[in-house]
Each structure stands twice: as structure tokens, then as C-alpha cells.
Amino acid sequence: MRAALVAAVLYALAAVGPAEAAPRFGIADDAGKYADDGGAVFFERIRSLGMTDNRVTILWHPDRPRTIDERSFLDAAVPNAAAQGVRIVLHVYPAQPTGLTASPARQVQFARFLGQLARAYPDVREFVVGNEPNQPRFWQPQFTRSGRGAAARSYAKLLARSYDTLKAVSPRIKVIGLGLSGRGNDVPYARSNASTSPVRFLRDLGAAYRASGRKAPLMDELGVHPYPRSDRDSVLTGDRWPRAGLVNLGRLKQAVWDAFAGTGQPTVEDGLKLRIDEIGWQVAVPESRAGSYTGRETSSVTSEPAQAANYVKLVQLAVCDPSISALYLLHLKDDPDLERFQSGLERADGSRRPAFAAVRQAVVRARRGCRGKKVAWRHATTVVGARAAFGVTSRPSWHARRSWGFKVTAAEGAGFRAGIYRAPATARTLGRSLASRRAPGALATTTGTVRAGWHPRASFRGLRLRPGRYVYAVRLRASMNARRAKVLVSRPFVVR
């Protein structure tokens, strides 16, 4: 009894005082739920890391919609976690990828199941609804037969119904949406893994929300799984737009703003938090521990020192980003099957990797606050990273030249319309008129699209300019939000 009281006091202290603004840290792992001792030792190890959270998976089965299959395990684990000062976060999603799209009735049944869980475990106040709905492994269909996005539209209905059901049980329940994968190829007819990138999924989710006419929020927090492209990558490597690694969270914040600004769903600037509720790096097993594992490794794994360094950097980045509410590492202990995940802080035999001590120290330091540069994010109102390489020099161009043009790029997808104009009194004058769509007539125009990081050429072929002064100009529009535009104008160049 005394141990439970001490643990409860420690748990309360972790949520107040100087550490209040710091993110919470935890483990995404079901091992405690299944442990013979009800997770007592497992939760103790979580607390020894200085962590406070354990995200636990609950699968919903459409053929038995009101059955909590693992109730006996939960009945033991939930009070044991509380006794150790560990907060249980329930992560609930269907056992089959079509489990919530096969019929409209299933979404109603799933929401009722969430309400049933919330009433059965009133001390559990946080629910992650769904898992990576932008991936076909967990949600189908991703696209319609005509190739349009379908997953976000059906998921939006589920999330709204789930939010309302959980809030009806208790307004204090926190609803974490999506558990969004940082990956996605946006290829509807791909032979395998036809998936939706996180940026485009958020755009589609916002469109569905606006079309529904809903005024209440969809979620209190946004769950994100920003895994690395390769386990050999550093946490600082990131990924290409419209995908997102941990260092690319600004893209997701912008996507949320593009999707929901001005609606009943708060954006990050309105207080929406991001929860990194699953992330991890798979590690090579030392030869001395190989006997504890079975099968063959199927991934390009990293080293144990590199894993430790990445996990420390994860903690440091999270504590310096005030929009991150929590960070959960996937697995405390390795799965012994090498075809599954070996990302634990402990090896399959229970021995500790270097990451165990490194993470524990990093979490302790995190309670003192950010020691680096704090993230201060603001939404963009123009095209992110828009640039043009006009190639204009002070040297005159020959009037008989037949090929004119320049390169244009951006850090996100965009469409562009470019033109050649007679030089006005100032480039600023032309820029203002282009922005207001009152530009003087172009001598030639061309249109195109920009993929993030690519440098397509805006070309005006077969054009012969008379002697005079000219400028290039280009207007870019963000593909995720046409209201965000950017006008770029070259300095004047002379044609003889």
C-alpha cells in the first residue's frame, strides 16, 4: 500500500512544477500487458528509465464487436501500472485493414467499443484511435477505383464518432488521432503498398472535415510515427516531402494548418499537440547474444552505439519542441524473432543495450528543460522554399536568341505560371501587380509543376525578343493550399 502511495506521489510530481512543459516519455510495448505478474516488473523498469507512459495495443474484431478479448490481462496490468506511477495509454484499432470500411455499421460498433473500454477502465484517460490509416496494412481502401484518395474521408467519419463517444463518457478523456505514418507513396495503382503520404492524408482529412459541416474538433492531439527511411539513417536525416521524419515535423504542422485553419479543429498554433507515439531504430544483434534469437534478419539494421545516439537525440529534439506532448520508443525489449522488430532498450535475453543508460540519462536531463535551440514554428502563408534561378546577368542578350527560360524550385509541391514581361519601372511594381492578378500582358507564358527539391525549367521556346529591357516573373501556388502563393521577379535584362 505504501509503495502504491509513493508511486502515485511520484507520478503527480512528474506532471507539475518546472517539468510541466516538458514532454512525457514512455514505451510503446504490450509486454507488460501479457506478463505473468501483471506487468509489475515491466512497469518498474519503465519507471527506472524515468519514464511515465506505456502505450498498450487493443485490437477490435468486427465479428465480436463488444468483446474485450484481453480483458483479463488489462484487469491485472492497469492497476499494476498505476501502482508504479505509469500511465496506460490505450491504442485501439481494427484487427483487419477493412474492418471499419466494409459496412457503415462497423464504425458505430467500433465507437461503442471505445466507450465500453473507457467505462471499464475509468482511470485510463488517453486513447489513440486507429493506427496508420494512411497505410494499406492498417486501412483499406486507400484510393477509389479512379485513383482519388479514399482513406482520409472514411477515417474522418470514424474519428469524429469516436471523439464524441469518448467525450460523452468523460470530457477529461484525451483523444489522440491517426497514429500517422511518416511514409506513403501516393501511387494509387502501385503493385504493392499503395499508400498515402502524411501531408496529403492531412489535406484530405481537412477536406472531409470541412465538407461534413462539423464544428467540434476531431482530436485533442495528433499521433505521429516518424520512423527513419532506413535504420542506418541518423535521426537528423529526415525524409522527402510529402513524407516526414522527426526533423520534418514542420511539414505536418503546416499540413494541419492548411487543412484546419479557421475551423473547429485546433491547429498547432491553436494548441494542438503532436504525440510521437511510436518510433524506433532496429539494431544488429551481437554475436554473443545471437542464441537468444531465431530466424534471419530482414532489415538493414544499425549498431547499438548508433541506436543509443539516435535515442538521446530524439529526447533532446522532443524537449525543445513545445508542440510535442510525448515521445514513446517502440519496445522495451527485443522480439526474439529476427523477422520482427529488434529496437528495444534491452536485448531478447534481458541484457541492457547501451541505449538503456543513455536514454535514462537523457530523460533526467530533459526534466531541466531545453538546453538547445527551442523550436518556434509559424505557419507559412506563401510557398515554402520557393526560389528561381533566373540566370540574368548584366551582359546583354542577342535579340536573335530563340530559347529563353529559367529554373524554379520549392521545398514542397507547387504549380507555377511563368512569363516574360517588358521591364516596369521597378521589379516591385510588377511583383505587386502579379500578386493582385493585374499584371500587364506577358510576351510569353508557360506553366508547370514543381516537385519538392526538383528544379524544372520554365522554358519559352521559339520566342524572339525585340531589343529592349525585360524581366522574368513566376507565380507559384502550393499544391496543398492554393491560397499560399509566391511571386518572384528577376532583375531586368537587356536584349540588343
In the predicted structure, residue 205 carries a pLDDT above the cut 80: yes
User: How far apart (Å, rounded) are the C-alpha atoms in residues 488 and 417?
Assistant: 11
Instruction: State the cell numbers at 449.
Output: 509543376
Any idea which of 2-6, 85-89, 385-389, 479-483 has the lowest mean pLDDT? 2-6
Q: Which residues pair with 416 in a beta bridge?
A: 448, 476
- Positive or negative torsion for Cα 238, 240, 244, 250: positive
Q: What is the mean pLDDT of residues 20-27?
A: 85
Structure confidence by residue, pLDDT tens digits, 389-443: 999 888 888 888 888 999 999 999 999 999 999 887 655 666 566 655 545 688 9
Among all chains, which residue has been given the C-alpha cell 547501451? Answer: 354
pLDDT of residue 442: 87
Structure confidence by residue, pLDDT tens digits, 267-323: 999 999 999 999 999 999 999 999 999 999 988 999 999 999 999 999 999 999 999
Output DSSP code: residue 155. Answer: H
Instruction: State the cell numbers at 451.
Output: 516537385
SS (H, E, C) 201-216: HHHHHHHHHHHHCCCC
Please, what is the Cα angle at 13 between 10 and 18, to 5 degrees? 145
pTM comes to: 0.92
Element spanning 461, H or E = strand 457-461
Please, are residues 254 and 425 in contact by the beta-carbon 8 Å criterion? Answer: no
Structure confidence by residue, pLDDT tens digits, 142-172: 999 999 999 999 999 999 999 999 999 999 9
Structure confidence by residue, pLDDT tens digits, 362-397: 999 999 999 889 999 999 999 999 999 999 888 888
Listing from the earlier edge strand, what are the strands of the sheet with 387-389?
387-389, 403-409, 457-461
Please, are residues 268 and 323 in contact by the beta-carbon 8 Å criterion? Answer: yes
pLDDT of residue 10: 39
Please, are residues 219 and 229 in contact by the beta-carbon 8 Å criterion? Answer: no
Structure confidence by residue, pLDDT tens digits, 228-283: 999 999 999 999 999 999 999 999 999 999 999 999 999 999 999 999 999 999 99
Domains and CATH numbers, the chain: 2-366 (3.20.20.80), 387-495 (2.60.40.2550)
Residue 5 banded pLDDT, cuts 50, 70, 90: very low
